[in-house]
Amino acid sequence: MHLGIFGGTFDPPHIGHLALAFEACHQLELDNLLWVLTPCPPHKPNQPITPLQQRIEMVQAIVKNEPKFELSRVEIDRPAPHFAVDTVEILGDKYPNARLVYLLGGDSLRDLPFWRQAQKFTRLVDTLGVMHRPRASIDLSALKHDLPNLREKLFFIEAPLLQISSTDIRQRVRGNRPYRYLLPPLVDNIIIKHGLYASRF
Ligand code: ATP
């Protein structure tokens, strides 16, 4: 089976994440897609982050009506630090017959050489499904030079570029600017219910 792994802070999850997830399911013929919520992302040490419970609630709202989507607790249930290399190793052991397809945006691919044990990470995954992001230019030859086993694993997902980010949505909420159609209504309900992003971000 083809198992998608989609790691993120999801603070909040938005239409950009959904576009990537749906395109990946279609183009990479995923049987299941695990949304791997990261409790404390090692690469965002200085960023205030919404409490885990409320981010869980938002990701649950995203996955609950999509049969292929699932919230994975693989990082939630283990102590920090949460490195992707450990996550894919654990999931590889748990699903020994699955082909592991790790999804990420172009900005994350650009930073991949700086991830913990990037060589091992690229060895453990079968495919890296990448969706371009505006303003994230990628030097592919440098990447392939740094991580030679990326070569036959990269798959670029064809999709419209979406200039949507969680950062922008947090700023819009705080600044009282429109954001409603940048994320699903169920997620917006949770933002409103808990008063998220109003002051701290
Ligand atoms: P923040 O603005 O807080 O950094 P984000 O919008 O980048 O958040 P993350 O939860 O950090 O969201 O992203 C999880 C994954 O989804 C990353 O691999 C990221 O590159 C990808 N991603 C997020 N938004 C988009 C988008 N609009 N298009 C394509 N990929 C995206």
Each residue's pLDDT, cut to its tens digit, for the chain (201 residues) gives 999 999 999 999 999 999 999 999 999 999 999 999 999 887 777 788 999 999 999 999 999 999 999 999 999 999 999 999 999 999 999 999 999 999 999 999 999 999 999 999 999 999 999 999 887 788 999 999 999 999 899 999 999 999 999 999 999 999 999 999 999 999 999 999 999 998 754
Q: Which domain holds residue 139?
A: 2-194
Decide if 163 is inside a domain. Answer: yes
Assigned token pair, 147: 């991580």
Ligand 1 atom 27 nearest Cα: 16
- In this structure, the residues whose C-beta lies within 6 A of any atom of ligand 1 are 8-11, 16-17, 20, 104-105, 107-108, 131, 133, 162, 164-167
Decide if 56 is inside a domain. Answer: yes
Neighbours of 44 (CB within 10 A): 12
Cis peptide before 41 (omega within 30 of 0): no
Strands 154-156 and 2-8 come out as: unpaired
Mutate to test the pocket of ligand 1, among 5, 6, 9 (most ligand atoms within 8 A of CB): 9
Decide if 79 is inside a domain. Answer: yes
Task: Report the nearest atom of ligand 1 relative to the CA of 165.
Answer: 6
**pLDDT for position 136:** 77
Decide if 65 is inside a domain. Answer: yes
**pLDDT for position 201:** 47
What sections of the chain are H helices per DSSP? 15-27, 52-63, 84-94, 106-111, 118-124, 140-146, 166-174, 185-194
Q: What is the distance between the alpha carbons of residues 83 and 116, in angstroms, rounded to a whole number?
A: 7
Q: What is the distance between the alpha carbons of residues 91 and 89, in angstroms, rounded to a whole number?
A: 5
If DSSP codes are grouped into helix, strand and coil, which group holds residue 82? coil
Q: What is the distance between the alpha carbons of residues 175 and 87, in angstroms, rounded to a whole number?
A: 36
Domain count along the chain = 1
Decide if 201 is inside a domain. Answer: no
Q: Phi/psi of residue 67, each to 5°?
A: -55, -30
Decide if 184 is inside a domain. Answer: yes
Ligand 1 atom 18 nearest Cα: 104
Contacting residues for 73 by C-beta, under 8 A, at least 6 apart: none
CATH number at residue 102: 3.40.50.620
Decide if 199 is inside a domain. Answer: no
Q: What is the distance between the alpha carbons of residues 59 and 37, in angstroms, rounded to a whole number?
A: 8
